[in-house]
Chain A
Amino acid sequence: MSTGTPPLPNPPAKPQVKSLHCPQCGTAITLRSFQQAVTVVCESCHCILDAKDPTLKILQQFQAIIGELPPMIPLGTRGKLRGTDYEVIGFQRRSIESEGVRYDWHEYLLFNPYKGFRYLSEYQGHWNDITVCKDLPIVRSGFVPNANYLGETYRHFQTAQAETGYVIGEFPWQVRVGERATVTDYVRPPRVLSCEQSAGETTWSVGEYRYPQEIWKAFNLKGQPPEPVGVFENQPAPATVSVKQAWLAFLLLTVFLLGLMAFNDMVASKDPVFNGSYRLASGPAKGEASFVTDVFELKGRSSNVEVKTNANVFNSWIYLNYALINQDTGQAWDFGREVSYYSGYDSDGHWTEGSHKDTVIVPSVPPGHYYLRIEPEADARHPEITYTVSVRRGVPVLKFYGYALLALFLPVLYVTFKSISFERARWAESDHPILQTESD
């Protein structure tokens, strides 16, 4: 469609990177952003110059402290972010002060002649990829203020006074060392909304957390990136499973467990196969104490046998040597059970110890004809004790359900604990260091 325009007498030259000289010290100055620079800093003498002025008027000269760290990504480095090449053209060190401690962070200004500007911020090894917001977030005040941007709610993290401590490179706005701005951050990991207010101007930007390896790869930097320290405000939680999902899965499994328990209770035979009452005379044993019960039949498949002992001991004990013997195969299960019960009064009041009952489960007993051989023992000075022995075939063992619940619960507990301590660490640095949970 674009034809017919006459050829221009002097076609405009391709915009070139400009090379100028600092009026103060003569050092060469490179302008990389094709007339977009408003200020540019001379690296040697730390003069901030007016980039729009052909004579590069000096706007401010600042002192650079010894030991000022150079930018980790040198000026002029190009990297690919979100599919676009950007060049680092400016760098700032800014800081806030909290309880007498100064916290520095660094901002890298990135430029692409077509796409414009982006920022990378770095704080203690944590990186963020930042761009200016096109839509205005809506701020809601309250106990914990929040901001809504593009339909998502961000929680207030921190408001602080930021001061610029060091600048190099070029910027499309006025920069001065020592200038202050009020910075308010709202977080919704992995994103952060930052509101910067200074001299009546408000700028909102939105950032997304980046891992150091991503930055190193994007800019082809040598060596290893510095390890991030602590948890950063919008750092995404490392768990691949959310706590909510874990608890839901736990509940689902618990429902199944309960279902299994109910099912088992229904299908278990709980067959009472034997019941006997006995008396152990007082005084020392006279003659043979052991005896055998009548034979009873255990039906069905191989399953458990429950032997319940109930004795009317009072401040004494009875010990029963049991043997469940298969009359035909001669296989036996040998076990001993104690029933003891004590009670009394002391300085704390009434106390009891022990129980009148004892239950034991004999495992995996094949079907057949069985009897019990019982040998009771008691304290030499015991009174007469009466006791009953009840045997049931095929009972549910509730203990296993308890163990299973614990086994299901422990991983969820672990994940929850890790998440809580991560979020605690995140919010510890904020204006609201009380426990907050990450909203999904």
Chain B
Amino acid sequence: MFSPLYLLYGFMVLSFVGMAEYRGWSTDTMNEVRNIPRSIRDNPGAYRSIYSSYHHYTGGK
């Protein structure tokens, strides 16, 4: 007989994937910020990005 435990586990894995796709989850590094004022559209430079100057150098080989 198929192990009912494994099938249950498999069902849960599939449910998780379905949920992830439905809710639009992602594994990419992301930072949520709030209350960005509308004035940024006119003055993009005023926005302070967390990531500015945060680049990692990859040289050649």
Chain B residues with Cβ below 8 Å from A245 are 1-3
Interface residues in B11-40 by Cβ distance below 8 A to A read 13-14, 16-18, 20-38, 40
Chain A residues with Cβ below 8 Å from B27 are 361, 399
Instruction: Tell me the smallest distance from the CB of B42 to a CB of chain A, in Å.
Output: 9
Chain B residues with Cβ below 8 Å from A250 are 10
Chain A residues with Cβ below 8 Å from B6 are 241, 246, 249, 411-412
A361 to B26, CA, bound (A): 6
A403 to B33, CA, bound (A): 29
Question: Are B61 and A353 interface neighbours, CB within 8 A?
Answer: yes
Given A249-B3, A404-B13, also A373-B40 (CB < 8 A): yes
Q: Which residue of B lies closest to A324 (CB)?
A: B30
Q: Which residues of A line the B interface, CB within 8 A?
A: 240-241, 245-246, 248-250, 253, 256-257, 260, 264, 268, 288, 290-292, 302-305, 315, 317, 319, 321, 323, 325-327, 330-336, 338, 340, 342, 344, 346, 351, 353-354, 360-365, 371, 373, 375, 377, 394, 396-397, 399-401, 403-404, 407-408, 411-412
Q: List 16 A-B contacts (CB under 8 A).
A: A246-B6, A249-B10, A302-B23, A327-B38, A331-B32, A332-B33, A332-B34, A334-B30, A351-B61, A363-B23, A364-B24, A365-B24, A375-B49, A377-B52, A401-B17, A412-B6
Q: A338-B55, A363-B23 are in contact. List 12 more A-B contacts (CB 8 A).
A: A240-B3, A249-B6, A249-B7, A260-B17, A260-B21, A331-B34, A335-B28, A336-B55, A353-B60, A373-B49, A396-B21, A397-B25
Q: Which residues of B line the A interface, CB within 8 A?
A: 1-3, 6-7, 9-10, 13-14, 16-18, 20-38, 40-41, 44-45, 47, 49-56, 58, 60-61
